[in-house]
Amino acid sequence: MKLAKSMIAGTAALTILGSTAFAQQPLTGTVTRIDRVNGTVAIQQTQSGTVGAGSGGAAEEYKVPNGTSLDAVHAGDRVSFSATGTGGTKTITKLDRR
């Protein structure tokens, strides 16, 4: 019984570490809409996984920090990006054209 509890605790720790590492990896996607007035960009994430998988879900809207220019990015551009989420608002922390 003690060994089983240790294995379960070890599995939970591994899962937490794995999801933390995944969150730090850059994501990829396609810009679907840019709202320069409100400082937002919508990106449809590239589906990862098996060949033949769907093209991804709906585009998600991200806030762009004040002072960040969106002039170099256009709808249809493939991008790599990182984002954070607080209070239900997702904010781009890094955005690069691919």
pLDDT tens-digit series, residues 12-35: 443 333 333 334 578 999 999 999
Q: Is there a domain that residue 44 lies in?
A: yes
Question: Which pTM does this prediction carry?
Answer: 0.67
**Does the residue 51 lie in any domain?**
yes
> What pLDDT is stored for residue 26 in this prediction?
87
- Give the pLDDT confidence score for residue 12 in this predicted structure: 43
32 within domain boundaries: yes
Diameter of the chain measured on Cα atoms: 60
For residue 20, is it within any domain? no
What digits encode the pLDDT tens for the residues 45-89?
987 665 555 556 789 999 999 888 888 899 999 999 999 998 889
Residue 33: CATH number of its domain: 2.40.50.320
Does 4 have pLDDT greater than 80? no
Residue 2 lies in a domain: no
Within a domain: 15: no
Paired sense of beta strands 40-45 and 27-35, if any: antiparallel
Whether residue 19 is contained in a domain is answered as no
The residue range of the domain holding 47 is: 26-97
Domain for residue 5, yes or no? no
Domain count, the chain: 1
Whether residue 43 contacts residue 62, with contact meaning beta carbons closer than 8 Å, is answered with yes
**Cα–chain-centroid distance for residue 10?**
27
The answer to whether residue 5 scores a pLDDT higher than 70 is no
C-alpha dihedral sign at 26, 30, 31, 32:
negative
Q: For 34, how many CA atoms within 13 A lie in the half-sphere containing its CB?
A: 16
